[in-house]
Structure 1
Amino acid sequence: MITSLKTWERLYRVAKFPFRCRSYSKDTKNPFTRTWGVLSKEVPEFLGINKKEVVFPEHADIVIIGGGFIGTAVAYWLKVKAGEGLAVVVLENDPMFKSAQKNLSLGTITQHFALPENILLAQYGAEFLRNFSQHLNKKVDLQYCPHGHLVLASEQYAERLEHNIQIQREYGVKNELLTVEDIKMRFPYLNTEDISIGCIGRECEGTFNAWMLLKSLIKKSVDLGAIYINAEVIGFELELQRDLLVEGVKPGTFKRIKRVLYKTPDNEEYGIKFAGCVLAAGDKCGEIARLAKIGTGEGLLGIPLPIEGREEKVYSLEDNGTMSSLSTPMISDTSGLWLQKNGLQDKLLCGHIPLLTADVKESDGDEYYEKIVKPALINRVPNFKDTKIRSVVCEKYDYNTFDDSGVVGPHPYHNNLYIAAGFGRLGCVHAAGIGRAIAELIIDSNFMTIDLTRLTFDRILTGNPMIEFNVY
C-alpha cells in the first residue's frame, strides 16, 4: 500500500508539472526532412508571402516579376525612395526560393572585373553589405568572412590580367600584382609551373550568407509595403495606342503592355494593371519576354531577349590542412577553376566555369568532372590528388547568350517594361546596385548613381556586345 501511495504521488506530480516529463519522439523521419517540412510552412509566412488572407490587387504602379535577389532589391529601393507613393507588387512562383538556398557559391564578393560597370556595381554591393544593418534599421548577421580573391593567369592571359588590374585601379580598387615567386612564398600549396602572374585584392572581398541577405531584404520590403504573391506569369494584355509614335514602329500600330496575367498554385487566374513592369525572373526572363511578343513580333519585337539557364556543379572536399588558414583566399585561374573555403568549416568548395563548346555541353556530369574539373583541381593543388571529392549541388543561373553580361533598363519597344537579368552568379552581390538603378529609371527617368547605359537592351539591337574580358 505504501508503494502504491508513492506511485500515485509521482503520477500527481507529473500531471501537475508536465514539463518535468521526458518524452521521446517516435518520428523516424530524417532530421533534414523534418526541418524542411517546418521551413516549407513557416518561411513563406515569415517573409510575408502566402499569408492566410491573400490579397490579389487589380492595380499596381509597379509589378515586379521575380522576387529573387534583383527583383527584391528593386522592390526595396522603390519603397525606400517613394514609400507609399508607389504601390509595388512582386510576383514570385517559388516562395521557398529553393534555387537561392542551394546556390552555395553566390555569396562571394570580388572586384576582379574588366568592365567598369561591373567594378562599380561590385563596389556598391560591398558598401551596401557593409552597412546592411543600417539599411534595414535592424541588426542582421550576414556571417561575412573577409579574405582576398587570388586570380592566377598563364602566360597567354598575363597581359590581359595586367590590363584588368590597371582598369580596376582607375576605379579605386586596391589590389596587388604578384610574381610567381610571391605566389610560391605566400601560397606554397599551389602549383605555379603554368602560372605567369597573379593578382589578389586587398579589401572588400570575402564571402557572406546569401540566403540571409535575401530573406532580410524580402522582410524589409514587405515591412515597407511591397506585396509578394506566389504566382506564375502566364501572359500580358496589350493595348493599341493609335496616337503614339514610336521610332521604328508603323504609325497607328503600337501596342503598349498594360496588364500582366498570372496563375496561383490553386490554378486561379488573375491580372494586375500596371504603369510599369520589371522583368527580374532570372533564367525564365527570355520565356516570359516572349509572352510580351519580344522575339516573336516584327521590327523592334523581332529580337529575342537572349536569357537562358546555365548549370554548374559545385563540389566539396575535405581540407586536409593544405588550405586551413582562415585568411585563405578564393582562387580562380585561367582554366576556369575556382576554389574557396566553405565559411568556417573544414571543407572546401570548388567548381569550374561551364565551358560552352559543343563537345563539353554533351558530356554528362561524371564525364565533365573527370575530364575538366578533377584535372584542373589536381594541377593547381597537387596535395588534393588523393582527396575524396563529392558533388554537392547543381547550381543554376541566368545566362545572357549574347555576351554573357547582364541586361538593365527599358525595352526599346515596351518602354514601360524594365529588364534586370542575365548577371549569372554576379546577380547576388550586384543586386543592390541593379535594384537602385532600376528604381532611378522609374522614379528619376535616368541612371543617377551608376551609369549602366551600355548594359541596356539597345546593345543587342545594334550588335555591340559588352564582354567581360576576364582571365577566368
Structure 2
Amino acid sequence: MNITKIIRGVRVPAAGLFRNYSNDVNPLSRTVRVVTNGIAEFFGMNKTASVYPTHADIVIIGGGYIGSAVAHALKTRAGEGLSVIVLEKDLTYREVRNNISHGTLIRNCSLPENIELASYGAEFLRKARENLGEDVDVQYTPYGFLMLASERYTEKLEQTAVQQREMGLKNEILSANEIQERFPWINTSDIKLGSMCLETEGVFNSWAFLSGLIRKSQDLGAIYINAEVTGFEIEKQRDVLMEGVEPGSFERICKVLYKTPDNEEHSIKFAACILAAGNKSGEIAKLAKIGNSDGLLSLPLPIEKRGYGIYAICDEDRMTHLNTPLIMDTSGVWLRKDGLTNNLLCGHVPFTSEESKNMSEEEFLKKIIEPSVNNRFPLTIGKKLKKLTTEMQDYNTYDETGIIGPHPYHNNLYIAAGFGKYGCQHAPGIGRAITELIIDSHYTTIDLTRFSFDRIFINEPLIEFDVY
C-alpha cells in the first residue's frame, strides 16, 4: 500500500496527523481543554485512529524538543515528499514540563558549533510566529549573559571571547572591579575576569516553543504515535561490504518495533530512523546492538539520565529589580531570572563524580548549592532556597557534548541526543542539520561533523568551556 494513502487515511484536517485526535478547533476551547482535560487532550489524543502506518520514509524516536524540531524541519522542507512518523512514549510530556530552566538561550560557548547552533536558535525564536504560527508566543526575552572565571580559567575565557567576536558576537571582558561596579551584589573576591555577552542571551517559554513545534509539525503532515519502542528488526545484507565487517555478515536495521499504552504491538518499516529519545537514547541504541556486539558496534551510546535540582531564592525582591543577567559561576552554579515571574532561579550543572552522584538531595543542597550561592551572591545569606523541581538531562558521559549524525555501522540510524542543557535552544539547528544529512547527504549550513559518534571511536573528546 502506498504510504501517502496510509497517511491520508489517518489525517484529520483540523487537528493534524495524530494517532488520536480532537474535533475542537476554537483557540479558546483548546485553552480550556488544557486546563480541564490535560495536555494529551490539547494535542488531540483522546480518540483512536483506525490505521497504524506500517511504512514510512522517516521514523523519529522521541517527540521532545529535538525530535519535534527534526519533524518540523523535514516536513517544512520536503512537504508530502517525505512521510514522517514520530514515536513518543509520553505524549503528556510530564518530564519536559518539569524542565523549567531549559528555556534559556546562551551563545557564550567555546565550541564554534555550539555558538552557531545557538545563533540559529535565536533567529528561529525571533521568528517564532512565522515559523510556528501566529498564535505561538514564546515570550523570548534577552537579558545578557555573564560568565565568571577564576584565575585558573582566565586564559581560556579570553581565548573564547576573541573567537566569539570573530564569529560576530558582541561581548566584552570585564575585570573584577568592573563586575563589582556594574553588579555590586556579586562577590568578586575570588573572581579574576568575566565575559559579558551583550545581545541575544535570555529566556523564553520552552513549553510554548515545544507546543508550537508539535502542532506545526502535525499541520505539515507528521504523525505522532503514543508508543514505547521495544526493538528493531534487522535483516542480513550479504552484498554490502564495509571496512571492519566480515564480508556477507552486514546487518541493517529496517523496522522499528513498538507497543502502544494498551499493549498492542506494531512495527514500521523505514528508510531512515532518527534517535532523539533524550536520556533514553542510550538504552534504545542497545536494541540495535550498539554496545552489545563487536567491531563498530562495540561502543555503547554514552548517554544517561542525570537529574539536578532547580531552586527559587525566597524573599528575592531585593535582587530582581536589579539588572540581573544570566550568570554562570566558577563553581558550576547558575542564576537567572524566571522571565515569567519575579523569581530568581538557580541550580548546578550535573557533576560527573561518583561521590556527588551518591549524595542525597538534602546533602547536595547543603554542601554544594547553598555555599556556592551564598559565596557568590551574599544577599542570599539567610534566605531559604525553595526546591521547585528536579530536571532531567540527556547527559553524555563521554565529553558532555551532543552527538549528531549517522552511526558508523547503522548508517540509516541518525543520532541526535546528548545535548543536555543545550538541547532546547539547539533544537531548531539540530532539526535543520538532520534534514540536510537526509536530503542533501551532507551538512550545508553548520558543519557538525566533529559532533559525530566517530569521535568516541578515535577518542577525540569535545569539551565545552561553558560547562565547568
- TM-score, normalised via structure 1 length: 0.90
Q: CA deviation at 1:134?
A: 1.0
Q: CA deviation at 1:136?
A: 2.4
CA-atom RMSD, angstroms? 1.6
**CA deviation map 1:72-118 (0-9, x unaligned):** 00000110111001110000001011111110100001111110000
Partner amino acid, structure 1, of 2:329 = D
Aligned to 1:46: 42
**1:285 counterpart = 2:307:** no
The one of 341, 362, 379 aligned to 1:366: 362
Q: CA deviation at 1:48?
A: 4.2
**Range that drifts further, 313-322 or 364-373:** 313-322
Q: CA deviation at 1:348?
A: 1.0
Residues 266/453 of structure 1: CA separation in 2 closer, same or farther (3 Å cut): same
Contact in 2 for aligned 1:276/1:417 (Cα 8 Å) = yes
Partner amino acid, structure 2, of 1:101 = R
**1:348 counterpart = 2:344:** yes
Q: Which runs of 5+ in 1 are unaligned?
A: 1-34
**1:318 counterpart = 2:305:** no
**1:457 counterpart = 2:453:** yes
**Range that drifts further, 38-47 or 392-401:** 38-47
Aligned to 2:162: 166
Matched residue SS, 2:252: strand
Distance 2:36 2:412 in 1: 35
Q: Which runs of 5+ in 2 are unaligned?
A: 1-30
Distance 1:327 1:224 in 2: 41
Contact in 2 for aligned 1:334/1:471 (Cα 8 Å) = no
Residues 378/357 of structure 1: CA separation in 2 closer, same or farther (3 Å cut): same
Distance 1:463 1:204 in 2: 34
Aligned to 2:409: 413
Residues 40/418 of structure 1: CA separation in 2 closer, same or farther (3 Å cut): farther
Matched residue SS, 2:213: helix
**1:436 counterpart = 2:424:** no
Residues 42/357 of structure 1: CA separation in 2 closer, same or farther (3 Å cut): closer
Partner amino acid, structure 2, of 1:225 = G
**1:195 counterpart = 2:191:** yes
Partner amino acid, structure 2, of 1:408 = I
The one of 211, 224, 230 aligned to 1:228: 224
Aligned to 1:122: 118
Residues 146/303 of structure 1: CA separation in 2 closer, same or farther (3 Å cut): same
Which has the higher Rg, Structure 1 or Structure 2?
1
How many correspondences in the alignment? 438
Partner amino acid, structure 2, of 1:412 = P
The one of 257, 260, 271 aligned to 1:264: 260
**CA deviation map 1:135-191 (0-9, x unaligned):** 124242111222011111111111111111111111111111111121111101111
Residues 339/260 of structure 1: CA separation in 2 closer, same or farther (3 Å cut): same
Distance 2:341 2:315 in 1: 9
Matched ranges for 1:209-228 at <5 A: 209-228=205-224
Q: CA deviation at 1:358?
A: 2.3
Q: CA deviation at 1:471?
A: 6.2
% identical equivalent positions: 57
Aligned to 2:4: none
Residues 295/132 of structure 1: CA separation in 2 closer, same or farther (3 Å cut): same
Contact in 2 for aligned 1:330/1:340 (Cα 8 Å) = yes
Matched ranges for 1:31-42 at <5 A: 41-42=37-38
Residues 332/129 of structure 1: CA separation in 2 closer, same or farther (3 Å cut): same
Contact in 2 for aligned 1:48/1:222 (Cα 8 Å) = no
Aligned to 2:299: 303
Aligned to 2:419: 423
The one of 453, 464, 467 aligned to 2:463: 467
